[in-house]
Structure 1
Amino acid sequence: MSVVRVALIALLATLVSACQSAATVKLYDGPERAAAELVMVKVPEQIELMTLDGAQIKGASTLFSGGTRELALSPGRHEILAYYKELWDSTIESHVIFRSAPVYFTVDGRPGDRFELGFAAPRSRDDAEALSEDFRGWSLNLASGVKTPTRASGIARPNLISNLISNDSTPAAAAPVAAPAAPRGSYLDELKRFWSEATPDERRAFRDYIGQ
């Protein structure tokens, strides 16, 4: 087994452990505070988070694990940059990953408010593909029932390798990515698939990253 493959497996194990322990993500400064003093935001696993008020969100990725997350925010107005991501089984042998361009979710809450990020869930593969091409969602205030629609960001989500080595987003058109067969839960196969999608420059940068 090559050094690169060993390093990738080790990195993957670290990422999976981090994701599994991050059901609630603290995104405010200072000591721990009670939920009644904060704004809590529930995020479904199909929404991949990128930034909060322009800063990278750490510890809330679902690239390697599923499940909802809850963000603990300070009261006030916040903008969450995120995109739609869903693995859709086409047949037993193959599947497709649909990914959208990022959008901004707006949350404006007082202490004790709870929100949920949402979207119209697709019922078919065609629905999921259409959603990835024109993703729109909302933030829902669970107490008042008020929905605030998302707004376009004008940027595209970087691929997985770029996300691991950089925080930058570059303008580009997002598109669904056809993926070879990989058993659900086989993280190594998923990582190898993303590696095959990376450009030569991204692979070199990733080798430098895991060699640090």
Structure 2
Amino acid sequence: MLSLRLIPLILCALFLSACARSPVVQLYDGPAKSDSQVLTVRVPSEIEVFTINGKEVDGVNTFFATDFKELKLTPGRYEILAYYKELWQLDADNHDIVKTNPANFIVDGKAGETWQLDYDKPANVEEARALEDTFSGWTLNTATGDKVAAEESNLILKRGFLAPITGEDVSTASSQNIAPQQSSTPAPTATASSAPQAAPAPAASYLDTLKAQWKQATPAERREFLQWVAE
């Protein structure tokens, strides 16, 4: 719960963050392409992206820009770990930030398509709190209306940290280029002249996971963690 005196400081920080970032994020290498050449994923402002295909990417979470931020990606399949986060006003003096456990949103899109992450929006803070352990949603093709239900991530968001309970590997992207996964569409049968497939990239280290979790922590949580380490 937040005191009213802290709200101006938080709003100022969020405003500066919004000024420094664009609501459109290019997640492929090279010059910008037209929308007909890329896959667009719209993310509501109340949803924060943790990882895309197992990588944490800078700039995908923005504040006060628009109702949505748009991610521009190479066409293909993506798994987007994302969670609900919203500031609710409780009364004249107090606010509360509600965060949920993440869900795994699946997007398998073609060039020119726009998909949107969506969920059942809570009407009040009680409904928002009820989502903390049960958050889910779907991805929506904005042109066709096709929906793909989000999957359970089996991750727990606790005290600012994402604590993986199934060995989820997380790494920090070395660039803003996020490559798609292999499409769910069956690939053509390989022939003798086919080019060999590249070996899968090695799994991220546990250190990478800790780094990603550290970035999710608040200053107070970081101090408490350091005090615990020093004991």
TM-score by length of 2: 0.63
Matched to 2:74, the amino acid is S
**What does residue 49 of structure 2 align with?**
49
- Kept after mapping to 1: 8 A contact 2:83/2:102: yes
Report which of the two has the higher share of helix: 1
Shift of 1:129: 1.0
**What does residue 134 of structure 1 align with?**
134
**What does residue 85 of structure 1 align with?**
85
Q: 1:90 to 1:199 in 2, by over 3 A?
A: same
**What does residue 164 of structure 2 align with?**
171
Q: 1:34 to 1:202 in 2, by over 3 A?
A: farther
Unaligned runs of 5+ in 1: 1-8, 163-168, 173-193, 206-212
Secondary structure of 2:131's partner?
helix
Q: 1:171 to 1:96 in 2, by over 3 A?
A: same
CA–CA distance in 1 between the matches of 2:15 and 2:58?
A: 11
CA–CA distance in 1 between the matches of 2:143 and 2:55?
A: 28
For the aligned residues, what is the CA RMSD? 2.9
CA–CA distance in 2 between the matches of 1:66 and 1:204?
A: 37
**Number of corresponding residues:** 167
CA–CA distance in 1 between the matches of 2:155 and 2:101?
A: 6
**What does residue 144 of structure 1 align with?**
144
Q: 1:202 to 1:85 in 2, by over 3 A?
A: farther
**What does residue 110 of structure 1 align with?**
110
Shift of 1:19: 6.2
Q: Percent identity?
A: 36
**What does residue 188 of structure 1 align with?**
none
**What does residue 74 of structure 1 align with?**
74
Secondary structure of 1:136's partner?
coil
Q: 1:124 to 1:103 in 2, by over 3 A?
A: same
CA–CA distance in 1 between the matches of 2:130 and 2:224?
A: 30
Matched to 1:95, the amino acid is H
Unaligned runs of 5+ in 2: 1-8, 166-217
CA–CA distance in 2 between the matches of 1:155 and 1:119?
A: 18
Shift of 1:204: 9.8
**What does residue 200 of structure 1 align with?**
224
Matched to 1:170, the amino acid is A
Q: 1:55 to 1:99 in 2, by over 3 A?
A: same
CA–CA distance in 1 between the matches of 2:14 and 2:88?
A: 26
Q: Deviations over 1:34-70 (max 9, x none)?
A: 11000101111110011111111211224x6564210
Q: 1:154 to 1:66 in 2, by over 3 A?
A: farther
- Kept after mapping to 2: 8 A contact 1:19/1:59: no
Counterpart mapping for 1:9-88 below 5 A = 16-17=16-17, 20-62=20-62, 65=64, 67=66, 68-88=68-88
Q: 1:136 to 1:170 in 2, by over 3 A?
A: same
TM-score by length of 1: 0.68
**What does residue 185 of structure 1 align with?**
none
Shift of 1:93: 0.8
Secondary structure of 2:220's partner?
helix
Structure showing greater Rg: 2
